[in-house]
Amino acid sequence: MYEHDYDECANEEQFTEETLQDGLRQLFTDGYDSSEICWENLRVQTYSEAGLMTRDCGLVITLPDGSEFQLTIIQSR
């Protein structure tokens, strides 16, 4: 179904968990729409930056009210 899309990207460098992690981080911190959510007050750190003891890639997202979410990125195939 999506094979054509993948073929167009075949010559680009390897897409990894880290690539997705960095892209999502940029999306969360730079591409916000303040009319929907107060994105500018989010704190976004990689698992490594937050000191989590894991080999997984992911983000720790802390909201202004102190609630925290973890987004784990694992390549399935």
Amino acid at 12: E
**pTM for this one?**
0.64
How far apart CA 38 and CA 36 sit, in angstroms, is 7
How far apart CA 39 and CA 42 sit, in angstroms, is 5
Q: Which of 21, 28, 13 is nearest to 54 (CA)?
A: 21
Q: What is the pLDDT of residues 11-32, one digit of tens each?
A: 556 788 888 888 887 877 775 5
- Cβ 18 vs Cβ 56: under 8 Å: no
- The model's confidence at residue 9, banded by pLDDT at 50, 70 and 90, is low
pLDDT for 16: 85
pLDDT for 77: 85
Q: What is the pLDDT of residues 28-66, one digit of tens each?
A: 777 554 445 556 678 889 999 999 999 999 999 888 888
